[in-house]
Amino acid sequence: MKMTREITLQVNGREEKVAVEDADTLLEVLRDRFKLWSVREGCGVGACGTCTVLLDGRPVSSCFLLAVRAAGREILTLEGLRDGKDLHPIQEAFVTQRALQCAYCTPGFVLSVKALLDEIPDPSDDEIREYLSGNLCRCAGYADILRAVRVAQVSSKLA
C-alpha cells in the first residue's frame, strides 16, 4: 500500500503544498505536479547533473532525492532564476558564449554555476572544473561552458 502525505515545498520563492507518495522523487514532483520542464531526467541515478536543482542554495540531483526530504527547504529551478523578463547574468553568458549546443544539460549547468559563484566568487579554472564535475555535456561543450562561467563571473561583479 502506497503512503501519501502532504508536504510544503518552497519552489522558486513560492510556498507550494503538494500530496506526494513516499517514493516520489523531487524530479517527478517538480515536473509532473509543477510543470517545471527545465528539471530533466538524464541518467536517473544522480550521475549526470541534468536534473540539478538548488536545494537551500546547494546543487542536488533531483532524480535521486525523495520529495519528502525537500519539505520545508528552498528549491530553485531554472524557471526561478530569471528576474522578470530579463535573463540572469549566468543565463545570458551561456547564450552569448554559445555554451548550449543541444541545451539538454544547460539548466543543470546554469544552476551549478550559480551555486559555484555564490560560494566561490573568484574561482580558478581547476575549481570550476571540480565544482562542475557532476554535470555531463553530451555535446562536449566544456570549453564554451568554462568561458561562459568566466563571463558570468565578470557580469556578477558588475551587477
The whole-number pLDDT of residue 158 equals: 61
Distance CA 32, CA 36 (A): 8
Q: What is the pTM of this model?
A: 0.94
The whole-number pLDDT of residue 12 equals: 97
- Does residue 84 sit within a domain? no
In 3D space, the residue among 6, 34, 45, 65 whose CA is nearest the CA of residue 134 turns out to be 45
The verdict on 53 and 96 lying in the same domain is no
Q: Domain holding 57: CATH number?
A: 3.10.20.30
Q: Which residues of the chain have pLDDT under 70?
A: 1, 158-159
Asked if 87 and 95 touch (Cβ cutoff 8 Å), the reply is yes
Domain encompassing residue 72: 4-79
In 3D space, the residue among 113, 105, 118, 110 whose CA is nearest the CA of residue 131 turns out to be 113
The verdict on 51 and 114 lying in the same domain is no
The verdict on 11 and 70 lying in the same domain is yes
Q: Domain holding 126: CATH number?
A: 1.10.150.120
The whole-number pLDDT of residue 159 equals: 57
> How do strand 4-11 and strand 74-76 relate by DSSP bridges?
parallel
